[in-house]
């Protein structure tokens, strides 16, 4: 007899009633009255168990999972026909992703397209080199990008892969730090 089922509730209530209240032959009447009350108790128990499960991403289901996603992300993460397990995974992935960084943007675009994007930050010597910069020094006649001291700018070349251009641009806009300019090109 599992906790909270009808028989469990009847047994719990019968255990606390004084035996003098019901003579030996009245157990049937007692059990009928207790069963009526216990049916409400089992309904409440099941409702509390269900509500408790809907409070966590790991156990929520159906529309409750949609409400959790809406609470965290607004309209930025629609279900788009995903089942509960796939949507739950998307919510977790989005909650734990590394946003606002070059590595985070590269990781998201890799997941979306299956191919690495090319990211160039003009002020970063590792991307554009530096005169007399030792190991990363590049200059005229060498492969690389021209840099500048313009901060908070990046140039991103995204291989299209199988993703729609609108989704890729939304990913870039969502992952970019506030106030940064991310110039984007999508190539086939």
What is this structure's pTM? 0.64
Rounded Cα–Cα distance for residues 131 and 149 (Å): 14
**Cα 136–138–139 angle (5° rounding)?**
160
Rounded Cα–Cα distance for residues 171 and 165 (Å): 10
Question: In a structure prediction context, what are the per-residue pLDDT tens digits for the chain, which is 188 residues long?
Answer: 788 889 999 988 888 988 788 777 777 888 888 999 999 999 999 999 999 999 999 999 999 999 999 999 999 899 999 999 999 999 998 899 888 899 999 999 998 999 999 999 988 877 877 666 565 555 555 656 777 777 889 999 999 888 899 989 999 998 998 889 999 999 98
């Amino acid at each position: 007899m599992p906790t909270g089922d009808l028989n469990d509730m009847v047994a719990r209530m019968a255990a606390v009633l004084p035996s003098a209240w019901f003579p030996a032959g009245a157990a049937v009447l007692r059990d009928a009255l207790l069963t009526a009350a216990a049916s409400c108790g089992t309904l409440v128990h099941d409702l509390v168990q269900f509500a408790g499960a809907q409070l966590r991403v790991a156990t929520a289901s159906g529309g409750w999972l949609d409400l959790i996603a809406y609470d965290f992300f607004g309209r930025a993460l629609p279900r788009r026909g995903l089942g509960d397990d796939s949507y739950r995974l998307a919510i977790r992935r989005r909650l734990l992703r590394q946003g606002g960084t070059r590595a985070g943007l590269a990781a998201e675009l890799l997941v979306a397209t299956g191919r690495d994007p090319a990211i160039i930050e003009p002020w970063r010597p590792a991307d554009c080199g530096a005169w007399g910069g030792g190991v990363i020094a590049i200059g005229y006649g060498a492969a690389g990008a021209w840099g500048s001291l313009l901060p908070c700018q990046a140039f991103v070349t995204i291989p299209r892969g199988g993703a729609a251009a609108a989704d890729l641009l939304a990913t870039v806009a969502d992952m970019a730090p506030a106030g940064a300019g991310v110039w984007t090109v999508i190539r086939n």
